[in-house]
Amino acid sequence: MTAERVDAGALWHRGLAGNARRIAEALRAYGPRTRGELVTLTGLSRPTVIAGLTDLAGAGLVAEQPGAATRPVGGRPAAVVRLTRSAGLALGVDIGRRHVRVAVADLSHEVLAEHDVRLAGEADDHPTEALDKAADLVDDVLAEACAGRDAVVGVGFGIPAPITREGRIGSPALLPAWADLSPREELERRLGLPVRLENDANLGALGEHVWGAGRACSHLVYIKIATGIGAGIVLDGRLYRGAAGTAGELGHVTLDARGPVCRCGNRGCVELAAGGRALLESARLTRPEITDIAELVHHAHDGDPGCRRLLIDAGTQLGFALGGLVNLLNPHRIVLGGELSTAVDLLREPLQRGLADTAMAAAAGAVEVVPGQLGPRASALGGVALVLGADSIAIAS
């Protein structure tokens, strides 16, 4: 390695090797660490870690910063090693039904810029326009970060649909206009960068696990409650995708086998009782002026009895569905995210009651229900975390 400036993607593709690469990958996945922590994370000896860091520093890829004392034990805190901007940047792209959000961070986990835009129409029906807008926002955030595309090592890309391990949409009926597309290839073609595709709720779970309400928690479920309902699952500190890559489709768990037909083809799905689309349809029967979820929540907080009842009932139904999931997975924490999480004050108590009615007492007593800390940023930041490699390593201790 040399200090000569190279394309960041090429650096990680062929410029790093051996122990130096192993150390750099640990820093990329776990963020800034002390030498002692790198010894533990890499399994290398201390002299080998020091030698590898010397090589990386010589190439301008790592730097040291003073450590912060965590407890009053005396002595100077150990220095922390981090990857520099020269090691590259990571992009996260989140295309929701009515929004596009893009975030960029360096490989030491510092978020540098974020941009988002509200779409005029639903991305479900206009994939080309949404993908074009995402490409525009990528250039906007890179410009704000004073960087070009050659500095980017990868893009984590989330959409609201189950994604198979082959990178295809696992249930075309949920996003019919996207069914014949390869979303990953479409975004790669627009950006000229490597892209990893993932379900948006999975990315929300990853974002909250690395930066938000799921930190230091090895067993968590992130619930994205928006137009639809999805879940991202972290088990033993790692993102769980299931055998086909489509784990977490909580919105399509059946609550009533004789209920109305859902767009997925099944009957009585959770989404029909607690999803934003269904709630808006019901709210407009008495409040036809309501146009989106934010307005529904606003009216509920203002005391509108119909809107409040809709959200309370939605929390109960969601709790019923979560009871089975809690019995099966026994998570320590449920993190509520998505647009409807702004009504967590109305949702949480009925959700917990519904959960207690359908889960074993021991499992229900072991789980805490908390609001997400990242809000609408969760999936885009989860895309960044995907590029960092946080989906395949155990972050929490």
Look at residue 76 in the predicted model and tell me its pLDDT: 63
- Each residue of 63-72: pLDDT tens digit? 998 865 444 4
CA distance 227 to 294: 11
Bridge partners of 336? Answer: 223, 371
Residue with tokens 């926002």: 137
Look at residue 6 in the predicted model and tell me its pLDDT: 55
Look at residue 2 in the predicted model and tell me its pLDDT: 45
Structure tokens that stand for 275 in this block: 């999803």
Does the predicted model carry a pTM greater than 0.85?
Answer: yes
Look at residue 71 in the predicted model and tell me its pLDDT: 44
- Each residue of 248-275: pLDDT tens digit? 999 999 999 999 999 888 999 999 999 9
- Each residue of 87-137: pLDDT tens digit? 999 999 999 988 999 999 999 999 999 999 998 878 888 899 999 999 999
Residue with tokens 């146009």: 291
Bridge partners of 106? Answer: 89
CA distance 314 to 255: 12
Average of pLDDT values for 176-184? 87
pLDDT band at 183 (very low <50, low <70, confident <90, very high): very high
Spell out the domains of the chain, with CATH numbers in brackets: 8-86 (1.10.10.10), 88-204 (3.30.420.40), 213-372 (3.30.420.40)
pLDDT > 70 fraction of the chain, expressed in percent and rounded: 95
Which ranges constitute the DSSP H helices of the chain? 8-10, 18-30, 35-42, 46-58, 127-144, 183-191, 200-211, 270-274, 276-283, 293-301, 305-329, 344-358, 361-366, 378-388
Look at residue 94 in the predicted model and tell me its pLDDT: 97
Non-local CB neighbours of 251 within 8 Å, separated by 6+ positions: 228, 229, 230, 269, 270, 271, 275
